[in-house]
Amino acid sequence: VIIMAPALLILLGATVILRADSLSDKKSLLLPPTNFTIKVTGLSQVLLRWESNPDQEPVNIELGYHVRINAPQEEDYETRNTESKRVTVLHKGFSASVQTVPWNGQPLPPSRWVSAELKAPPGSPGTSIVNLTCTTNTTVNNHTPLRPYQVSLHCSWLAGKDAPEDTQYFLYYRYGSWTEECQEYRRDTLNRNTACWFPKTFISSRGSEALAVHANGSSKHAPIKPFDQLFALHAIGSDDQKPSTEWFLIVLMAAICFILLIFSFICKTGHLWTRLFPPVPAPKSSIQDFFVIVSSEKTVSTETEIEVISYVEDPGFETLEDSVF
């Protein structure tokens, strides 16, 4: 027993050390977020939401989240929020992953990934619309001073190559929080909707948000696959025009300048300018008169001095003449 006592003490000490190390490692590990979901909140718009792990041990660093969009287009970004809104096409499905990371580059490994996915909507291949194009047109709106510009939207497309003849398509657009369904369609020879016109929209002529357009359809013979597309407003036919009030002010200022120019020309040519605006005589300056008088006196005295000097220089000649005669 005495011989085994040191071995037992060593074993006990090693166990305590291993337990302490395991506790330390457990505290330093970052746990992944929980309840990660993806929810469709509008046309071509999803909301990613998650929660911090309730079992996460307290750490002395700030935590954030690394979000990775896997489909339909890869994208990576970091955030400290527990939700993120994304605008993207959804007819191909959507999937994303998120992990807990130390914020500001702290030396701590990130957690493992957790993922969520939206399946692609059902529909037969080749039945969705193709060659979708959209253009906007901006005109003057004189009836609503708060919205001096009115934007209309025109979209056209072709039926899918495998769409049944009885297919009927329906088009929607979303800009910001506004969503509208088309009410004015143009049809092809098979009576299928292939173009749409929105005479008035909620689109801002100077906005920077993406325009989301969605088309779905119906048929008795096959499920029609939907289609989404995003448009940048500056890239689709927007011709801003000045409102009539601004044009009126511009024309009025130009007319006033022209009238003043003609009036000035007539006054100058007809000698009316001097009659309407006679010149004001300059006030008499006593200081200027004083300088004139002083200058005159200096001139006279100088001439006198010259005459005196010449008289003094010639006395010898005059004396000689007096002595001769």
Tell me: the pLDDT tens digits for 159-169? Answer: 999 999 999 99
Task: Look at 57 and 158; give whichever has higher pLDDT.
Answer: 158
Q: Which residues contact 154 (CB under 8 A, 6 or more apart)?
A: 134, 135, 136, 137, 195, 196, 197, 198
Q: Is residue 188 predicted with pLDDT exceeding 80?
A: yes
Backbone φ and ψ for 103, nearest 5 degrees, come out as -85, 150
What the block records as the tokens of 133 is 């194009």
Q: For 179-204, what is the mean pLDDT?
A: 93
Please tell me the predicted confidence (pLDDT) of residue 233: 83
User: What average pLDDT does range 8-13 have in this prediction?
Assistant: 50
3-state SS assignment for residue 221: coil
Confidence (pLDDT) at 204: 84
Q: Are 131 and 158 in contact (CB under 8 A)?
A: yes
Cis peptide, bond prior to residue 283, ω within 30 of zero = no
H or E element in which residue 290 lies? helix 286-313
What gap in Å lies between CA 170 and CA 286, rounded to an integer? 95
Chain mean pLDDT for the chain: 79
Q: Positive or negative CA dihedral for 318, 322, 324, 325? A: positive
* Alpha-carbon dihedral sign for residues 121, 72, 180, 40: positive
pLDDT digits (tens, 9 = 90+) for 204-225: 877 788 999 999 999 999 999 9
Q: Are strands 94-102 and 114-118 parallel, antiparallel or unpaired?
A: antiparallel
Tokens of 25: 């490692």
Residues 70-81 have a mean pLDDT of 95
Average pLDDT over residues 252-272: 78
Distance between CA atoms of residues 203 and 205, nearest Å = 6
Among candidates 177, 180, 158, which has minimal Cα distance to 227? 158
What local confidence, expressed as pLDDT, does residue 118 receive? 96
Those residues with Cβ within 8 angstroms of residue 101's Cβ, 6 or more apart along the chain or in another chain: 30, 63, 64, 65, 66, 78, 110, 111
CA torsion 307→313→319→324, rounded to 10°? -100
- What pLDDT is recorded for position 153? 94
- For the range 248-254, what are the long-range contacts, defined as Cβ-Cβ under 8 Å and sequence gap of 24 or more? none
Mean of pLDDT values over 177-203: 93
pLDDT digits (tens, 9 = 90+) for 104-121: 877 789 999 999 999 999
Among the listed ranges 78-87, 215-224, 270-279, 302-311, which one has the minimum average pLDDT value?
Answer: 302-311
Read off the tokens for 58.
């307290």
d(CA 75, CA 115): 14
pLDDT tens for each residue of 77-100: 999 999 999 999 999 999 999 999
pLDDT higher than 90, residue 236: no
E-only strand ranges, the chain: 34-42, 45-51, 63-71, 75-79, 83-87, 94-102, 114-118, 130-140, 149-158, 168-175, 178-181, 185-187, 193-198, 211-218, 227-231
Whole-number pLDDT of residue 218: 96
State the pLDDT at residue 157.
97
pLDDT band for position 138 (50/70/90)? confident
**Quick check: 313 pLDDT over 70?**
no
Question: Could you give all domains of the chain from N- to C-terminal order, each with its CATH number?
Answer: 34-118 (2.60.40.10), 130-235 (2.60.40.10)
Q: Position of tokens 């009115």?
A: 150
DSSP 95-149: EEEEEEEEGGG-S------EEEEEPPPP-BTT-S-EEEEEEEEEEE-SS-TT--E
Asked whether residue 44 carries a pLDDT value surpassing 60, the answer given is yes
Edge-to-edge strand list for the sheet holding 168-175: 178-181, 168-175, 211-218, 227-231
Range ranked top by mean pLDDT from 58-62, 100-104, 227-231, 262-266: 227-231
Contact between 96 and 70 (Cβ < 8 Å): yes
pTM: 0.64
What is the per-residue pLDDT for 96?
A: 98
